[in-house]
Amino acid sequence: MAEKGGKMRINFAHYLLGCRFDNWIRLLWQNKFRIAPSKIPMALCITAVSAVMFPVAMLEKLIYDRRIKRSAPIHDPVFIIGHWRSGTTYLQNILSRDPQFAWCDPVSTTTLSISQLLRKPLTKFESKVLKTARPMDNMIYRIDLPIEDTFGLATISPYSIIHMIAFPVYYRQYLPGAFVADLSPKAQASWKRSYTYLINKLSWFYGGKQLMLKSPDNTAHIRQLLELYPDSSFVNIHRDPYTTVMSTIHMFKKQMDILRLSRLPDGDIDVILEDTIIYIFGRMYRELFELEPRLPENRIISIAYEDLTRDPYACLSDIYSRLELPGYEEALPRFREYIDSQKGYVKNNFTLNPRLREKINRELGFYFEHYGYEMETDS
């Protein structure tokens, strides 16, 4: 697809502004330094910020890394999994109100490498820019709400699927950022080191509290997470696949409009996104359904987004009971406060076109059957 004209703007909520300089150079090299003309100012801004902050990052590494590397989690994390736009954010926002859990806060995540030495100014800065950082729906980021761990990984590693948003022209090379098993052995080892560092730094910062983490791409590499954290627990939230796929397409298009640095790939971007998203959706859930029966019953629970929005307290009670987590009654008032604050939330509405419906029906029939969703047909 030819590059369209556009205003040259600086987006101070861009996730790569917190990228460590050496990782930023790797990303540019991977993408052959092919920055779209209208995105050059943003790329120069990222280069300048990451270069200026690199000495701070190295100083922070020098001061804290020995302690961080010794700070493996006392309790293995609870992972919220599920496809993008299936309700993972809403569920984590609720559960994050329980003070027994720690999670990826925006400063520790999007500015991982400098989050200790510059925490106060970063907190002040991010509390302002995060308000406009979620363009795909009516939810807002807040400094006191969790953020996806993939954003932290993306600042120190090229192996994150989120980079396909910034560099869509070469989007295929970032699919293994979700399906880590597709990476070379060397790249897998690098991914594991980076992810372990992220988790250790969070665990150290929060004094050993149990981490409760959420990133949709975690659904695609549960085996790798279990290798690192064998006693992890998982909360899988699923949603009607038509809505989930349409909302994910909308999300990726919105994010690419704002965050991309390269041109778009050749071809029809709608078709590319449809095919890519449905491929990821199908593969991640086939792998989950294969793995799920092997996990102990007290280590994984699946809930429907539709049930969570209809009766959130029943779902939350089931999660705590099934995973044998303490503290539900104590956390209940905080849960209720957050849930009540979201009563005015307005969901996006989408129209399902026949082409997309046919693709979803053909590729995700096993998902409909597993969770009991009704498949739409012409008849």
Torsion over CA: 13, 177, 115, 49 (sign): negative
- Per-residue pLDDT band at 349 (split at 50, 70, 90): confident
Can you tell me the mean pLDDT for 105-120?
Answer: 95
195 CB-contact burial (10 Å; exposed 0-12 / middle 13-18 / buried 19+): buried
Q: Does position 86 have pLDDT exceeding 50, yes or no?
A: yes
pLDDT tens readout for residues 135-165: 545 556 678 899 999 999 999 999 999 999 9
Nearest-10 Cα torsion for 190, 214, 223, 165? -50
pLDDT score recorded for residue 345 = 65
> What share of the chain in percent tops pLDDT 90?
83
Residue 52: the pLDDT is 97
Quick one: pLDDT at residue 250?
92
The pLDDT of residue 239: 97
2 has a pLDDT exceeding 60: no
Using 50, 70 and 90 to split pLDDT, how confident is the model at 346? low
Mean pLDDT of the chain: 92
| Residue 277 pLDDT greater than 90, yes or no | yes
CB 75 within 8 A of CB 210: yes
Give residue for tokens 């926002």.
Answer: 93
Q: How far is CA 150 from CA 138, 162, 233, in A?
A: 21, 7, 18
**In terms of pTM, does the model score above 0.75?**
yes
Chain centroid to CA 263:
23
Q: Is the pLDDT of residue 4 over 80?
A: no
pLDDT in tens, 218-274: 999 999 999 999 999 999 999 999 999 999 999 999 999 999 999 999 999 999 999
The pLDDT score that the predictor gives to residue 132 is 55
Tokens of 42: 């943003």
pLDDT tens across 26-42, in order? Answer: 999 999 999 999 999 99
Mean pLDDT of 104-117: 95
Does residue 353 register a pLDDT over 70?
Answer: yes
Q: Give the Cα separation of 72 and 202 in Å (integer).
A: 9
Strand residue runs (E) in the chain? 78-81, 101-102, 210-214, 233-238, 300-304
CA distances for 232 relative to 76, 182, 300, angstroms: 5, 22, 9
Please report the pLDDT score of residue 6 as a whole number: 47
pLDDT digits (tens, 9 = 90+) for 280-339: 999 999 999 999 999 999 999 999 999 999 999 999 999 999 999 999 999 999 999 999
